[in-house]
Amino acid sequence: MYEPVVKGAAYILAHTPNMAFEYGTTQYVERQKDPQSKYLMQFGDHLRTYEQVMNYAPFQAYIGNIHPDQLTAIDRPWYEGDKVEGKRYGKYGEIVPEDEFYAWLQLVDAFELVWLEEEFLTELKPRLEASPMLTAEDIKTIGGGRSLKEIQKRVEEKTAAPLMLKDRLVGCVRRAHELDSTLTAHVIAENTASKASGVLALRYLLKNTGVDPREIDYIIECSEEACGDMNQRGGGNLAKAIGEHAGCAGATGSDTRAFCAGPAHAMVLAAALVKAGMFSNVAVVAGGSTAKLGMNGKDHIKKGMPILEDVVGGFAVLISENDGHNPIIRTDSLGKHDIGTGSSPQAVMQALVTNPLDRLGLTMEDVDKYSVEMQVAEITEPAGAGDVPTANYRMIAALGVMKKQLERSAIPDFVARHGMPGFAPTQGHIPSGVPFVGHARDLILAGQMQRAMIIGKGSLFLARMTNLFDGISFLMEPNPGRTDDQAIDEGAVKKLIADALRQVALDLAQSED
């Protein structure tokens, strides 16, 4: 079986509480309605410190320091106390603090739209120089900053959006056009944050895999941001913009958008490109969404909780040609939500889970772990959305009961064995299936897992263009090795040549007769 492989993965988080207040859609809309609203006045009192975010168990699972299953043994609420050892760096990436993330914004800014204050950058420089992901050339590119007076002037004129650290103005993001609503300061900040987090994730992917950036020949960016201008609002191309800052000089690329299902679609596209022989190394990458910051903030504050949506997420996965070692993506295992499937939960899960398994002659028990919508439950529960991952696993188990593959009484056990607690931030596309790819790869390589199903789901009706739902899925399995149809059997080749020569000799003898 000549299938593409998952060669590595990277996951990063940027703690951005001040960006949550300024750029999160919930807060932005509230500010337009009532700048003095009680919610906005209370917001700052419910923000977590960087140390608290590092100590948040689900986020330690996200960057690879603990396995998601370990969360079941940790008492909730996870946001209270130090339930795990908080580490900045993990197996897959890191949790970067907000002040350093601001420097990343300026680093990836191609049009001098991000201005950071000179004194702030001077204070920050020693920490930037210590970063494993920033080079001396990066520090030089970031530069020495602007005067506070210049920054204040742009913010007061409302031609720039502020970059704050509590009450301190440390920078701004300027608008890129006087009249274009798609190039306002707010939108530029949103897109630059997505780009910066994507660059950080891609750099970690290259570090984790040891792959030379010049060996990446295609990049697929799959976030929910759409950069462009008034003539082509979603024209892109964030993929090449991100690759440029990761040293991928030999790559081209494009953006794929499908709401939350975008990453799963992107991985399927990457696998197809590699299997077709068009490209050898395809990087799937996505930065995070500032719009989603504080999305459920009102409900968190009502429950006396901290604002848990205070991080921008990012990830990157490398899909490469078969190396005989890394886990494969079975390209015959795809499940897809067709236009005519319907949008009921049962119809969606049948299309994405049971249909492809039936086609392969597998049962639902044959999949060790399903990764569906991996949002942290205590983020979504206060808003009434419930425990999204568990709801998905129960639906999968219910389908198993309908297919007589398990008893109804076995549903809780099935959920415990084949599911896992949600451990990803509610960044839209970030939780949808892909957070488990890194863990699945490691477990398969260690011989502790035979099969994982990655499921992306998306709500297309949000764009007001269709009421359809969306989804796509695929299986990851151990690599069978480069044998069978991939290896050249020298003896078989010699036999084919000998048989052909004998046939030619017979044909000649018959023609002479």
**What DSSP assignment string belongs to 132-189?**
TT--HHHHHHH-S-B-HHHHHHHHHTTSEEEEEETTEEEEEEE-S-SS-GGGSHHHHH
pLDDT digits (tens, 9 = 90+) for 154-168: 999 999 999 999 999
Asked, for residue 509, whether it belongs to a domain, the answer is: no
Report the predicted TM-score, pTM, of the whole model to 2 decimal places. Answer: 0.93
Q: What is the band of 486 on the pLDDT scale with cuts at 50, 70, 90?
A: very low
In this predicted structure, what is the pLDDT of residue 488? 47
Q: What is the band of 499 on the pLDDT scale with cuts at 50, 70, 90?
A: low
pLDDT digits (tens, 9 = 90+) for 79-115: 998 899 999 999 999 999 999 999 999 999 999 999 9
Q: What is the band of 1 on the pLDDT scale with cuts at 50, 70, 90?
A: very low
Asked, for residue 164, whether it belongs to a domain, the answer is: no
Nearest of 281, 286, 228, 216 to residue 257 by alpha carbon: 286
What is the spatial distance between Cα 355 and Cα 150, in angstroms, rounded to a whole number? 60
In this predicted structure, what is the pLDDT of residue 117? 98
Q: What is the band of 290 on the pLDDT scale with cuts at 50, 70, 90?
A: very high
Three-state secondary structure of 359-378: HHCCCHHHCCEEECECECHH
Asked, for residue 83, whether it belongs to a domain, the answer is: yes
Q: What is the average per-residue pLDDT within 256-280?
A: 97
What is the spatial distance between Cα 399 and Cα 389, in angstroms, rounded to a whole number? 16
Asked, for residue 46, whether it belongs to a domain, the answer is: yes
Q: How many CA atoms lie within 13 A of 346 on its CB side?
A: 6
Q: What is the average per-residue pLDDT within 212-225?
A: 97
Domain harbouring 430, CATH code: 3.40.47
Asked, for residue 162, whether it belongs to a domain, the answer is: no
Nearest 5°: phi and psi at 49? -80, 165
What is the spatial distance between Cα 430 and Cα 397, in angstroms, rounded to a whole number? 24
The chain-wide mean pLDDT, for the chain, equals 94
CB 398 within 8 A of CB 364: no
pLDDT digits (tens, 9 = 90+) for 60-73: 999 999 999 999 99
CB 311 within 8 A of CB 59: yes
Q: Which two tokens stand for residue 326?
A: 């890394």
pLDDT digits (tens, 9 = 90+) for 121-142: 999 999 999 999 999 999 999 9
pLDDT digits (tens, 9 = 90+) for 460-479: 989 999 999 999 999 999 99
What residues form DSSP beta bridges with 325? none
Structural domains of the chain, count:
1
Asked, for residue 169, whether it belongs to a domain, the answer is: no
Asked, for residue 147, whether it belongs to a domain, the answer is: no
Domain assignment of residue 251, given as a range: 5-113+175-477
Contacts of 443-448 spanning 24+ positions with Cβ under 8 A: 443/368, 444/327, 444/476, 444/477, 444/478, 445/325, 445/326, 445/327, 447/478
pLDDT digits (tens, 9 = 90+) for 179-211: 999 999 999 999 999 999 999 999 999 999 999
Asked, for residue 130, whether it belongs to a domain, the answer is: no
Q: Which two tokens stand for residue 94?
A: 């890191």
pLDDT digits (tens, 9 = 90+) for 51-60: 999 999 999 9
